[in-house]
Structure 1
Amino acid sequence: MTTITVEIDKEEDLSALQEVLGKMGLKYHVEEEDDDWGDLPEAAIEGIKAGLADLEAGRTHSHEYVMGEIDKKIAEFRKTNGR
């Protein structure tokens, strides 16, 4: 048995391909992807999904809050290091 994987960008091409495969008497299985992550590494995809889960769960900080915390750290560093 030989397995062939085909990626189709246009949804309308799927029905034409299914028709051709059916006429050839070939078995096929259609597997639709939930998300198109392109060529991203699995670790990057998992990181993005984790970030999205954090966002949905409200585990975030505003830009203003984060910048304020960074400004405090810089001021502490300057005070400690005489700059």
Structure 2
Amino acid sequence: MVKIRLSRHGSRKKPFYRIVVTDSRSARNGRFIEKIGFFNPIGYLKNEKFKINFNKVEYWKKIGAKISPRVQYLIKTYQ
């Protein structure tokens, strides 16, 4: 099953998340199919906190990808 979920990057106490399309069997930070955005929870005023390619999200949803609850929340919040 294909999922759209977060992949954690960044250093300790300074998380940075990439929004990726991945196979559900792969590890959280492991192999992915495509990067479609990012989420920076501690972003400053100058930096963007959230960016996603909505066209890619619609494409992958049409194919049958499931969106994780956290990514679904972020899309609703920042849309």
Query: Normalised by the size of structure 1, how large is the TM-score?
Result: 0.24
Higher helix share: 1
- RCO comparison, higher one (Cα < 8 Å, 6+): 2
Structure of larger gyration radius: 1
